[in-house]
Amino acid sequence: MTARRIHNLVSVPGSKSIANRALICAALANSESVIENCAPGDDTEAMIDALRILGVGVERDSDKVRISGNLDLENIREMQLNAKLAGTTSRFLTALCSLRAGVTTIDGDEPLRTRPMHDLHSALRDLGAHVSSISHEGFLPVQISRGAQWQAKVAVRANMSSQFTSALMMIAPRLPSGLEIVLSQDVVSRGYIEMTVSVMRAFGANTDFSDNQIWVSPGEYQGTSFTVEPDASSASYPLGAVAISGGSVTIAGLSRNSLQGDVEFIDLLARMGCDVSESHEGLSLNRDKERPLRGVNVNMSQISDCVPTLAVVAMFAETPTQISGVGFIRDKESDRIGDLIGELHKLGANVSETQDGMVIQPGVLHGANLETHHDHRLAMAFALIQREVDGVIVNDPEVVSKSWPRYFDVLPSFYKS
């Protein structure tokens, strides 16, 4: 009888995407909320710090956060908020502060000031908010305050960041007539909009998303107890580690019923030749290292945060991989196409850029010093190469504090047999 494979159980942090949405809804709720398994990391801390400055009572005890709710939107004091390097935080706060009577200045560290915000600023102006760029139009820093009258319908280009759409959705219950959002062009990262719908509903909002239209009814958020799922994007790293180096891993508490589209990353690895299963413990992946990895041709527009992980895994496949549909990730924390390819070239990888992605061909790899470009996802993906290729050094590894501060401490546990 064949011995049963024992899966290595790995816990990943709570989803920062879900946590930041829950924090916004809880701040606007009419009573206290408790958020369990709240994500660690700089992005979540930047959100919590900003909510405290805005007057929301927030108490954090490890991964449990208690939020008082009842944000005072009539406060006329001028306030300044620093989102640091957190794009999601800056965009959600910009929309949130458009509800305030007082002027709020939203700013961030220099790399965040280069990330485009134009579509969000434009949509808020269309709705009736006062939005004033301080340095460059469409970028941080920006000043924002409530206007005299709100519109009930707005159009948003959906081929840019889904964060713009989610930001508008979450403030919509507090608008006098609610909001209808019409999404033009192809919707990228649709799963993140669906995630926003689910979190809003958990806090009592009435919202719907069908085809390219979103409806949000006016009303109040209700304080609640909310548990944040394990982060599916972070799960891509232990899964990628096993896909590259062989072995077995189970992501504790993650299931196919996740609110996060990135849970589909595990299915890409199955297409590449790994075995996938699910149990009460979580989602599992294993690979016999003698079994070859196959390349894939995949549109990753709906799971774009996993592009660096797949690109790194693809370098160890025996056939080419083509990633498409992700041209918009050039405007993430880094240029996640150009910067990623440039660093992989240092390793000798055969990678070429396309209009909306890249092609990774099999090749012989060697050691190199890799820059992380202020991007936590590049750092975490590059670290997976070190076990298989001697002489790979990841510079500025501290950038992982954005989403998984202890990443390099727990990385060895990915490989336990």
Over residues 224-268, the pLDDT tens digits come to 999 999 999 999 999 999 999 999 999 999 999 999 999 999 999
At 385 the pLDDT is 98
- The confidence band for 186, taking pLDDT boundaries of 50, 70 and 90, is confident
At 172 the pLDDT is 98
Over residues 298-332, the pLDDT tens digits come to 999 989 999 999 999 999 999 999 999 999 999 88
- The confidence band for 417, taking pLDDT boundaries of 50, 70 and 90, is low
**Catalytic site residue from 305, 339, 356, 409:** 305
Q: Identify the CATH class of 16-227.
A: alpha beta
246: enclosing H helix or E strand: none
At 350 the pLDDT is 97
CA angle, residues 250, 306, 337, in degrees to nearest 5: 155
Beta strands 282-287 and 247-252, pairing class? antiparallel
**Listed range (52-56, 133-137, 189-193) with the worst mean pLDDT:** 189-193
Residue 273, phi then psi, degrees to nearest 5:
120, 5
Q: Identify the CATH class of 232-412.
A: alpha beta
Task: State the chain's mean pLDDT as an integer.
Answer: 94
In the annotation, is 356 catalytic? no
As to burial, measured by CB atoms within 10 angstroms (0-12 exposed, 13-18 middle, 19+ buried), residue 245 is middle
- The confidence band for 7, taking pLDDT boundaries of 50, 70 and 90, is low
38 Cβ partners below 8 Å, 6+ apart?
Answer: 14, 19, 22, 23, 44, 60, 63, 64, 65, 228
At 331 the pLDDT is 86
266: enclosing H helix or E strand: helix 265-271
* 19-28 exposure pattern, b = at least 16 Cβ within 10 A, e = fewer: bbbbbbbbbb
343: helix, strand or coil: helix
Cα–Cα distance for residue pair 223/8, rounded to 1 Å: 37
CA angle, residues 287, 291, 293, in degrees to nearest 5: 80
- The confidence band for 3, taking pLDDT boundaries of 50, 70 and 90, is very low
- The confidence band for 4, taking pLDDT boundaries of 50, 70 and 90, is very low
4 Cβ partners below 8 Å, 6+ apart?
Answer: none
Cα–Cα distance for residue pair 111/323, rounded to 1 Å: 26
Cα–Cα distance for residue pair 158/165, rounded to 1 Å: 8
Residues of the chain with CATH 3.65.10.10: 16-227, 232-412
pTM: 0.91
358-386 average pLDDT score: 97
Cα–Cα distance for residue pair 79/88, rounded to 1 Å: 19
At 188 the pLDDT is 76
Q: Which residues pair with 368 in a beta bridge?
A: 392
Does residue 416 surpass a pLDDT of 80? no
